[in-house]
Amino acid sequence: MEREKALSLVKEQITEHRYNHTLGVVETAVALAQRYGADVKKAELAAIFHDYAKFRPKEEMAAIIKQQNMDPQLLAFHSELWHAPAGAYLVAKEAGIEDEAILDAIRFHTSGRVGMTQLEKIVYVADYIEPGRHFPGVEEVRELADKDLDAALIQALKNTIQFLMKKNQPVYPDTFHTYNDLTMKKGDTN
């Protein structure tokens, strides 16, 4: 699918503010894909569609999670996680994207997963560091992303986990498992 057609499909689904965020994620994902030798077109499409379901009704996303036999445990966690797996399903169904690599990058951009592909890492990090993001810790992750994609992802996960813990909110297990998997692979454990 061509960039302009994809952007027009997404623009119909999200707010103007979220559309501007999406453009930042696309720009960042393309730059990261170029830097790390990933498929630029796939990174671009996954970034365009990453928040496709962001503003769908919670009931619709919950129904998709149940009907498509996705992890039922998702429903016990904050609904902010739901738009990623529901979005991957809706992007396939409504936009006709069939490439599993693109769909997985959308599916796991909020939670991460053990054994993330390079494309999945790029979309996750791009969503976290796009130029419109301003919060404590984002600059450090931006600097890391210039040198080491895994280090940037580990720091983004760490920041997210710490943020949720400070707010006394539960952390989805896949997020912990992703952090542990990457940290152990990097050899940062003692």
| Residue 153 CB coordination number (10 Å) | 24
Instruction: Supply the pLDDT for residue 147.
Output: 97
Contacts of 74 (CB under 8 A, 6+ apart): 65, 81, 82, 85, 172
Q: What is the dihedral of CA 28, 165, 65, 84, to 10 degrees?
A: 0
Question: Which residue bears the tokens 């103007």?
Answer: 16
pLDDT higher than threshold 80 for residue 37: yes
CA 29 – CA 21 distance, rounded (Å) = 12
pTM above threshold 0.85: yes
On whether the 3-133 domain is CATH 1.20.1290.10, my answer is no
Instruction: Supply the pLDDT for residue 186.
Output: 85
Instruction: Supply the pLDDT for residue 190.
Output: 45
CA 115 – CA 150 distance, rounded (Å) = 12
Residue-wise pLDDT for 63-88, tens only, equals: 999 999 999 999 999 999 999 999 99
pLDDT higher than threshold 80 for residue 126: yes
pLDDT higher than threshold 80 for residue 187: no
Residue 81 DSSP class: G
Instruction: Supply the pLDDT for residue 24.
Output: 98
